[in-house]
């Protein structure tokens, strides 16, 4: 062990001083879901009356709804009355050193090339402030403040900027939208709030990773991003490192609002626990993500989906303003017994609106991946343009890949193109690589990376590097 | 009274077998499909089924030269007048007979209704090694002074190494509403070749649901060409099931719609065995307030390796009031496959139009020529020249130009 490392170990053996400060007495509400639970959650979070009313309205609506069954997913029935809907962000039991961490996890970190101190933070090993990102966060917050950007936890925003929350919450994803959005609206735990003022270019990429208490936003995350006129922000969600979580069900809602000439770039790397090789365990991830574009505005969704046992996610754009642009770039990888039903919706309302969809699916093992997308061009959306491409790559004869695109066009000046292909990696391609001294596993990684390049190129630089490695790890053992 | 009441009343007068009773009950318990059914998301039957229909047997009518007028002039003709088989040819190796009851899949309420109450239709059995070079023309003519609901239930069985071509035309002559529930089951035994050409060219009082289930054994080729030129409501369900290796399924469709016509093409290819192929080309042209729906599904079952499936759906929206909803789907459970689909929605190329106009073609003719060229990929697959000519004429007629595309 190097000198430096020893020092770290020594420091880290002291108790973590920067745990969550919480003055909430009960840290867990009883299992089950009813009006009282919703009221309790709201009370714990000290929310204003209007938000409680909103939650309750969402709850009564949820009660009337039926769980959707149309998705191409197969999972055991979820007993919504047997879940805990709120547990306070409690301090996790910190491990003393990396030696206590699951060696499998460490192996993965090493492959991802995560620095040692970060590894510790991720694995839940106590890290002293010197190595923590707190100092980074402080400088980071200052820069944002100077620019007038608000970036804080959702519950903090409810206290500090209630007028903004009141104005925009549920405007893009109303609580009536779908079963899981209604559930989230009733019991959302926490999340992020971002506000970019007019004529501002956010000086840095915002990442949930840097919002220190993001580590425990709970299972019902809610994100709201508002970009005022002529502003720009790039937001990163998630983390390439595998996340272990005791919560089986995740139902998040993300709302993006882009005013005239604004742009939001939203990148996600989702790597929740996918369950083991036998398909036991794993997170069920039901996410509603949607953005609205006003005049000349642009929303770009980029996602790399590698985790979760079940993924149900359709980041969408409502292209309301003239000349607005929506983009969706996705790589979804499923292995073992994972299932993903993911895609996008592009609803064209404004004139000359444009959308691009590039979805790449990779299925290995006994997994199933589906692309499900909607492109709707309304009557008033003249001269609109859409291009969609959905490709699937199959590895192994036990997996399945499916495409369900819906295309609806209601005027005669718009152009829509859709193409989809499904195939496997050619034996000749692998042979070509083998011949040049690249072993089969690396060859597949090489081909997969090439196949996903269109999407990975959209990710911010440091994310892209990690995502590439993540692809390799996700597909490990799927060959031969 | 609405159609479902008419049917309920009529069903009580019929003698039904146990199976037919079961089918009837399953129809009445689910009723006609509505838009909350995923397969009928864009297609509503409400406007049709709310009407009062005559569901009982109709008398055979006698109209001068009507058969000659509608027929393409082939020697072998099967003719139905108001549901009754009035003439059928005698061909060596082929047995043609009137309606015979047979079992079929009843996986939706439309088929349950058909299987329980249909009493009209044909049955064609082609013996092994029979090759018929000229096609059999089948005419279903309807004429009534009242709103008519009719069901046909047909079966075609092709023996080993046989070859059969069919041209089918369902035509309503009078001004009253006609609603047809048409079902055909085709079984292709090994090495047989089958071609089915359908024209659906009717006035705006005509509604049709046409279901065709084709079961293919090894080394068979079957092709279905669906040419839609009119009708207020058309829904085609075309299903292929490949039960043997090296089977090939081809589907071509052209829809040219105007007014407030509506056409919905649903296709489904079920690749159950390895080394099979499917090709699908559907072209839609929509004028005025017409509406089109396309839903193509390709399913590759586990263990069905080396499948080559291709599907394309191209649409031209020539009017601002026209609409297209399309859903090309792939469901693939095997890895060594080559499956692709493409779908486009657009307009005529302005530069090509300009090029033609600058060479002296009037705008209308230039547009028609480009539109014809757009359909050509599908039309070209028709192997019966007389039928192909007829289709080309109908396209010109529909686009309101006096052009002969072939010369």
d(CA B179, CA B52): 11
Comparing CB atoms, the residue among B303, B322, B328 nearest residue A412 is B322
Q: In the structure encoding, which two tokens stand for residue B72, read together?
A: 């393409």
Q: Does A131 touch chain B (CB under 8 A)?
A: no
For B155, phi then psi, to 5°, come to -140, 145
Q: What percent of chain B has pLDDT over 70?
A: 99
Closest CA of chain A from B248, distance in Å:
19
- The residue among A335, A365, A401, A429 with the most chain B CBs within 10 A of its CB, best to mutate, is A401
Q: Does A409 touch chain B (CB under 8 A)?
A: yes
Task: Tell me what pLDDT residue B36 has.
Answer: 87
Task: Tell me what pLDDT residue A444 has.
Answer: 86
Comparing CB atoms, the residue among B335, B345, B346 nearest residue A396 is B335
Contact A412 B340 (CB under 8 A): no
Contact A412 B317 (CB under 8 A): yes
Q: Does A217 touch chain B (CB under 8 A)?
A: no
Q: Does A394 touch chain B (CB under 8 A)?
A: yes
d(CA B278, CA B332): 14
Closest CA of chain A from B349, distance in Å:
11
- Find where tokens 């061909």 sit: B91
Contact A411 B320 (CB under 8 A): yes
* Short-list B208, B195, B91, B71, CA closest to B137: B71
Q: How far is CA B53 from CA B146, B175, B180, B234, in A?
A: 8, 14, 11, 18
Q: How far is CA B243 from CA A100, A239, A433, B269, B271, in A?
A: 57, 47, 38, 11, 8
Closest CA of chain B from A312, distance in Å:
17
For B205, phi then psi, to 5°, come to -105, 10
Q: Strands A206-207, A232-238: parallel, antiparallel or unpaired by DSSP? A: parallel
A116-123 and A103-112 are packed helices; what angle lies between their axes, rounded to 10 degrees? 140
For B89, phi then psi, to 5°, come to -80, 160
Comparing CB atoms, the residue among A70, A407, A421 nearest residue B327 is A407
* Short-list A179, A129, A130, A178, CA closest to A19: A129
d(CA B156, CA B164): 10
Query: Strands (DSSP E) along B49-133, which ranges?
Result: 77-81, 84-87, 94-98, 122-126
User: Among all residues of chain A, which has the CA nearest to that of B345?
Assistant: A416
Other residues' Cβ atoms within 10 Å of the Cβ of residue B101: 14
Task: Tell me what pLDDT residue A213 has.
Answer: 37
The pLDDT-based confidence of B149 (bands split at 50, 70, 90) is very high
User: Among all residues of chain B, which has the CA nearest to that of A401?
Assistant: B332
Q: Strands B122-126, B94-98: parallel, antiparallel or unpaired by DSSP? A: antiparallel
For B17, phi then psi, to 5°, come to -75, 170
Other residues' Cβ atoms within 10 Å of the Cβ of residue A297: 31
User: Biggest alpha carbon distance in chain B?
Assistant: 69
| Per-residue buried b or exposed e for B152-161, using 16+ beta carbons within 10 Å of the residue's own CB | bbbbbbbbbb
For A326, phi then psi, to 5°, come to -125, 140
User: Among all residues of chain B, which has the CA nearest to that of A365?
Assistant: B335
- The residue among B335, B341, B346, B349 with the most chain A CBs within 10 A of its CB, best to mutate, is B335
In chain A, residues with a C-beta closer than 8 Å to the C-beta of B323 are 408-410
Q: Does A404 touch chain B (CB under 8 A)?
A: yes
User: Biggest alpha carbon distance in chain A?
Assistant: 71
Residues B387/B74, Cβ–Cβ less than 8 Å = no
* 3-class secondary structure, A338: coil
- The residue among A66, A388, A409 with the most chain B CBs within 10 A of its CB, best to mutate, is A409
Start-to-end CA distance of chain B, whole Å, equals 52
Residues A191/A221, Cβ–Cβ less than 8 Å = yes
Contact B332 A400 (CB under 8 A): yes
Contact A402 B332 (CB under 8 A): yes
The pLDDT-based confidence of B292 (bands split at 50, 70, 90) is very high
Half-sphere exposure at residue B138, Cβ-oriented, CA atoms within 13 angstroms: 26
Mean pLDDT of chain B: 92
d(CA B101, CA B282): 33
In chain B, residues with a C-beta closer than 8 Å to the C-beta of A417 are 342-346
The residue ranges of every structural domain in chain B are 3-347, 350-407
Q: Does A374 touch chain B (CB under 8 A)?
A: no
Q: In the structure encoding, which two tokens stand for residue B263, read together?
A: 């056409």
Task: Tell me what pLDDT residue A221 has.
Answer: 85
pLDDT in tens, chain A (480 residues): 455 545 444 443 333 233 333 333 345 677 788 888 899 888 888 899 999 999 999 999 999 998 888 888 888 888 888 777 776 555 445 566 666 666 666 666 666 666 665 666 555 544 433 333 444 555 677 788 888 999 888 888 999 999 999 999 999 999 999 999 999 999 888 888 999 999 999 988 887 654 433 344 457 888 999 999 999 999 988 765 555 555 578 888 999 999 999 999 999 888 777 877 777 777 888 999 999 999 999 999 999 888 888 899 999 999 999 999 999 999 998 888 889 999 999 999 999 999 999 999 998 888 899 999 999 999 999 999 999 999 998 888 888 899 999 999 999 999 999 999 888 888 888 899 999 999 888 888 888 888 888 888 888 776 777 777 777 777 766 554
Q: Does A421 touch chain B (CB under 8 A)?
A: yes
Task: Tell me what pLDDT residue B156 has.
Answer: 96
d(CA B330, CA A335): 20
d(CA A283, CA B354): 58
Residues A444/A430, Cβ–Cβ less than 8 Å = yes
User: Among all residues of chain A, which has the CA nearest to that of B290?
Assistant: A410
Q: Strands B323-332, A400-409: parallel, antiparallel or unpaired by DSSP? A: antiparallel
Query: Strands (DSSP E) along A63-184, which ranges?
Result: 150-153
- The residue among B36, B293, B331, B336 with the most chain A CBs within 10 A of its CB, best to mutate, is B331
Task: Tell me what pLDDT residue A123 has.
Answer: 54
Contact B326 A407 (CB under 8 A): yes
| Per-residue buried b or exposed e for A177-204, using 16+ beta carbons within 10 Å of the residue's own CB | bbbbbbbbbbbbbbbbbbbbbeebebee
Helix (H) or strand (E) holding B312: strand B307-317
- The residue among A347, A362, A386, A418 with the most chain B CBs within 10 A of its CB, best to mutate, is A418
In chain A, residues with a C-beta closer than 8 Å to the C-beta of B302 are 397-398, 400
Q: How far is CA B358 from CA A420, B348, B352, B366, B372, in A?
A: 37, 16, 10, 10, 19
Residues B338/B246, Cβ–Cβ less than 8 Å = no
Contact B302 A415 (CB under 8 A): no
User: Among all residues of chain A, which has the CA nearest to that of B340?
Assistant: A421
* 3-class secondary structure, B398: helix
Q: What is the mean pLDDT of residues B96-121?
A: 92
With DSSP H G I counted as helix, E B as strand and the rest as coil, what are the percentages for chain B, rounded to 5? Answer: 20, 40, 40
């Amino acid at each position: 062990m190097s000198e430096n490392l020893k020092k770290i170990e020594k420091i880290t053996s002291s108790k973590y001083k920067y745990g969550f400060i919480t003055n909430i007495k009960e840290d867990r509400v009883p299992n089950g879901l009813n009006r009282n639970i919703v009221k309790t959650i709201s009370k714990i979070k000290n929310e204003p009356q209007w938000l409680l009313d909103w939650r309750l309205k969402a709850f009564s609506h949820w009660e009337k709804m039926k769980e959707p069954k149309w998705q191409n997913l197969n999972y055991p029935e979820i007993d919504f009355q047997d879940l805990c809907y709120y547990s306070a962000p409690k301090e996790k039991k910190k491990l003393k050193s990396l030696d206590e961490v699951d060696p499998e996890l460490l192996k993965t970190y090493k492959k991802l090339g995560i620095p040692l101190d970060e590894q510790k933070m991720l694995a839940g090993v106590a890290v002293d402030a010197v190595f923590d990102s707190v100092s980074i966060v402080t400088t980071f917050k200052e820069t944002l403040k100077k620019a007038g950007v608000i970036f804080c936890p959702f519950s903090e925003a409810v206290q500090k900027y209630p007028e903004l929350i009141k104005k925009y919450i549920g405007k893009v994803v109303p609580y009536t939208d779908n079963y899981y959005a209604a559930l989230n609206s009733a019991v959302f735990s926490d999340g992020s709030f971002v506000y970019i003022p007019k004529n501002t270019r956010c000086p840095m990429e915002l990442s949930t990773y840097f919002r220190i208490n993001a580590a425990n936003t709970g299972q019902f995350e809610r994100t709201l991003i508002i970009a005022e006129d002529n502003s720009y922000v790039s937001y990163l969600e998630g983390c390439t490192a595998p996340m272990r979580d005791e919560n089986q069900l995740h139902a998040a809602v993300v709302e993006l609002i882009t005013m005239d000439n604004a742009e939001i770039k939203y990148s996600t790397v989702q790597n929740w626990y996918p369950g083991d090789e036998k398909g036991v365990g794993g997170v069920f991830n039901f996410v509603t993500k949607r953005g609205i574009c006003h005049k000349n505005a642009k929303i770009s969704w980029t996602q790399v989906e590698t985790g979760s046992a079940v993924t149900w996610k359709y980041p969408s754009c409502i292209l309301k303003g003239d000349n607005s642009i929506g983009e969706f770039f996705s790589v979804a990888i499923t292995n073992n017994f994972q299932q993903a039903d993911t895609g996008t919706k592009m609803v064209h309302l404004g004139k000359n609106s444009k959308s691009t969809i590039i979805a790449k699916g990779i299925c290995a093992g006994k997994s199933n991946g589906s692309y499900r997308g909607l492109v709707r061009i309304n009557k008033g959306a003249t001269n609109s343009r859409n291009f969609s491409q959905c490709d699937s790559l199959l590895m192994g004869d036990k997996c399945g890949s499916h495409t369900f695109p819906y295309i609806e066009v209601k005027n005669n000046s718009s152009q829509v193109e859709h193409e989809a292909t499904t195939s496997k990696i050619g034996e000749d391609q692998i042979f070509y690589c083998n011949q040049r001294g690249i072993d089969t596993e690396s060859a597949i990684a090489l081909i997969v990376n090439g196949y996903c390049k269109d999407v990975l190129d959209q990710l911010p630089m440091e994310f892209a590097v990690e995502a590439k490695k993540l692809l390799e790890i996700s597909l490990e053992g799927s060959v031969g | 009274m609405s159609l479902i009441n008419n049917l309920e009343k009529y069903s009580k007068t019929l003698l039904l077998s146990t199976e037919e009773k079961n089918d009837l009950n399953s129809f009445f318990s689910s009723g006609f499909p509505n838009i909350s059914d995923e397969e009928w998301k864009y297609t509503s039957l409400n406007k049709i089924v709310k009407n009062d229909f005559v569901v009982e047997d109709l008398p055979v009518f006698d109209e001068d030269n009507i058969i000659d007028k509608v027929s393409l002039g082939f020697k072998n003709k099967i003719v139905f007048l108001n549901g009754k088989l009035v003439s059928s040819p005698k061909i060596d190796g082929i047995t043609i007979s009137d309606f015979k009851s047979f079992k079929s899949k009843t996986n939706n309420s439309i088929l349950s209704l058909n299987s329980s109450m249909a009493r009209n239709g044909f049955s064609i059995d082609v013996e092994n090694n029979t090759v018929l070079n000229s096609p059999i023309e089948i005419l279903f003519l309807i004429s009534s002074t009242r709103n008519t609901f009719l069901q046909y239930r047909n079966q075609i069985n092709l023996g080993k190494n046989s070859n059969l071509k069919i041209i089918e035309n369902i035509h309503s002559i009078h001004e009253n509403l006609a609603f047809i529930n048409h079902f055909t089951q085709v079984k292709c035994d090994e090495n047989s070749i089958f071609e089915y050409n359908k024209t659906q060219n009717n006035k705006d009082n005509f509604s049709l649901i046409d279901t065709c289930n084709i079961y293919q054994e090894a080394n068979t080729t079957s092709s279905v060409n669906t040419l839609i030129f009119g009708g207020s409501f058309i829904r085609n369900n075309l299903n292929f099931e490949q039960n043997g290796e090296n089977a090939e399924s081809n589907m071509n469709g052209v829809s040219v719609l105007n007014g407030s016509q509506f056409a919905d093409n649903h296709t489904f290819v079920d690749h159950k065995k390895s080394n099979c192929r499917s090709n699908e080309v559907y072209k839609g042209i929509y004028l005025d307030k017409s509406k089109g729906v396309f839903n193509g599904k390709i399913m590759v079952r586990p263990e069905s390796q080396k499948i080559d499936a291709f599907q394309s759906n191209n649409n031209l929206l020539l009017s601002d009031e026209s609409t297209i909803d399309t859903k090309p789907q792939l469901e693939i459970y095997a890895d060594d496959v080559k499956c692709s689909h493409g779908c486009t929605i657009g307009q005529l190329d302005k530069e090509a139009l300009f090029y033609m106009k600058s060479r002296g073609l009037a705008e209308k003719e230039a547009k028609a020529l480009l539109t014809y060229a757009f359909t050509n990929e599908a039309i070209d697959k028709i192997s019966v020249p007389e039928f192909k000519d007829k289709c080309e004429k109908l396209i010109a007629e529909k686009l309101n130009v006096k052009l002969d595309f072939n010369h």
